[in-house]
Structure 1
Amino acid sequence: MKKKFKMHNAYANDLINNFTKYYANPIQAYIKQNFNWETDHVCVINKEEDNTITVVSNDLLKLDNKQVREITRKQKTMTWINFSNNEHNENHDVLINNHFDLLHVYQGMVLKTKDWETNDSLTNPHIKVVETKTEVETFTNIIENTFDLETIVLNKYLPIHKYNLENKVNHLILVKDENDNFVGTGNIYFDDQHAIIDDISVLVEARGKGYAKMIMFYLISYAKKIGKSEVLLFGTEDGTPVYEKIGFKLIDTYMEVFYKQ
């Protein structure tokens, strides 16, 4: 788990290595065997259950048509995720030219916990820490019903939960409504320099009632409780203004999600 992409700053290092480490499961057996973390900048991740792959690249390596075609020539359906310090970069154009469609652009954000007031966030009765296999399954079902699945492997959460029991790398939570029905999820990773928030979701029928805010406040407060001075996340176009109101600031790290079929 100490292998690293080397990126343009410490924020990017933790965001991108966290994504790659926990894309499918924490064991790394799913990563193509000839990938060298110290020298290579393209990581091929196999999703054996549906015979698709995801490729992760970053802006320290400039892709070319030959390289992309070599990776994609035997695969019809695939996701390519490019990390960059620029919203529009050379790799972006190469992938578009090789018949990938740009689906999403996410921008990195950071919040400093020094002045964060935890108040009652950590004792919020709507928050339930995930502890059992059944709760992991509930967490996974909510993710399935709220996320675009190009960048998600749904069967990863149970292996991550089991791995966490011994290694203490993350913290999964559920949020419940007034009727004790679970309606949202949140996750925070903390095995790097920074805490990284992920998997924030609320079911459509429960939105607009403050549950997402509860999740965010709890996770930020938890990060401060365990001694993390900064919290990172990737913000969606819709989510970014919400996170800015909480106190997050934009940073020059982008995640572009491309899809080809």
Structure 2
Amino acid sequence: MKKKFKMHNAYANDLINNFTKYYANPIEEYIKQNFNWETDHVCLINSDLNNTITAVSNDLLKLDDEQVKQITKNTQEMAWINFSNNDHNENHDILIKNHFDLLHVYQGMVLQTKDWDIKDSLTNPHIKVVETKAEVEKFTSIIENTFDLETIVLDKYLPIHKYNIENKVNHMILVKDENDNFVGTGNIYFDDEHAIIDDISVLVEARGKGYAKMIMFYLISYAKQIGKSEVLLFGTEDGTPVYEKIGFKLIDTYMEVFYKK
């Protein structure tokens, strides 16, 4: 990437720059062609083959009406993701004023792996590391059936998988039920000092059976095994109590997802 977001602390920097880099296809040629930095703090991502645009910003740059209107003037639909160190900020108000709807708010969380007990998490028979194109396609299918499609790029996972073979930037897994059917996904990226968990999902019909916990325990254990002392993630309002029970602590980094039709 040409530049990096500068945020309030190392946790926020890693979370936000990881999100921006892997929001879409991570291959260097793609990044050079499609990451268009309008300012030091606003990045436009041409996120898929349909030319869907996503803007990424943070509250160190205070947006104004003219900036937002200039960026959105040629788009019919657009996602805007704003990062901040508080749960209500000036950029929030500007985006709402410019007819963006707030879809989701996520809060950053961190877990120290020092006291984490790996136990048998890494040998769990329900966990399958993604290795083949067919497994990537299954991973993508589960994401499609569990995530908000307005703000997810489904065609990124195969390029990320191929990119990872040589660059070792992430570790994708599937979870199997008792009948060996794949019912959930998990992903962990490695950036600077931290490991960053993403893409945690379980199909509706398989929820309540402990699969999400298996995924989380495996990914945290994997992070510790490869020497990461801290694991980061963004949690939803519903998800944060679950993560806190595992050992995650809230940090003052927020991600607001807006969408304009």
TM-score range, shorter chain: over 0.9
The equivalent residue for 1:80 is: 80
The equivalent residue for 1:35 is: 37
The equivalent residue for 1:227 is: 227
Give distance in 2, aligned partners of 1:34 and 1:77: 18
Give distance in 2, aligned partners of 1:238 and 1:181: 26
Is the Cα contact below 8 Å between 2:14 and 2:191 reproduced in 1?
A: no
The equivalent residue for 2:154 is: 154
Q: How does 1:100-115 map to 2 (within 5 A)?
A: 100-115=100-115
Give distance in 1, aligned partners of 2:182 and 2:227: 29
Give 3-state SS (helix, strand or coil) of 2:171's partner.
Answer: strand
Q: Which runs of 5+ in 1 are unaligned?
A: none
The equivalent residue for 1:217 is: 217
The equivalent residue for 1:178 is: 178
Give distance in 2, aligned partners of 1:245 and 1:2: 38
* Alpha-carbon displacement from aligned partner over 1:204-239 (angstroms, at most 9, x marks no partner): 000000000000000000000000000000001111
* Alpha-carbon displacement from aligned partner over 1:168-203 (angstroms, at most 9, x marks no partner): 010000000000000000000013210000000000
1:62 deviation in Å? 0.3
TM-score by length of 2: 0.96
Give 3-state SS (helix, strand or coil) of 2:49's partner.
Answer: helix
TM-score by length of 1: 0.96
Give distance in 2, aligned partners of 1:33 and 1:109: 27
Is the Cα contact below 8 Å between 2:102 and 2:256 reproduced in 1?
A: yes
Question: After alignment, is 150-159 or 43-52 more displaced?
Answer: 43-52
Amino acid at match of 2:199: D
The equivalent residue for 2:25 is: 25
Is the Cα contact below 8 Å between 1:32 and 1:43 reproduced in 2?
A: no
1:2 deviation in Å? 7.9
1:129 deviation in Å? 0.2
Is the Cα contact below 8 Å between 1:108 and 1:254 reproduced in 2?
A: yes
Is the Cα contact below 8 Å between 2:36 and 2:43 reproduced in 1?
A: no
Identity within the alignment, % = 85
Q: CA RMSD in A?
A: 1.4
Q: How does 1:1-261 map to 2 (within 5 A)?
A: 3-27=3-27, 29=30, 32=34, 34-35=36-37, 40-261=40-261
Question: After alignment, is 51-60 or 1-10 more displaced?
Answer: 1-10
Structure 2 vs 1, CA of residues 108 and 159 (structure 1 numbering), >3 Å: closer, same or farther?
A: same
Give distance in 2, aligned partners of 1:125 and 1:92: 44
* Alpha-carbon displacement from aligned partner over 1:116-135 (angstroms, at most 9, x marks no partner): 00000000000000000000
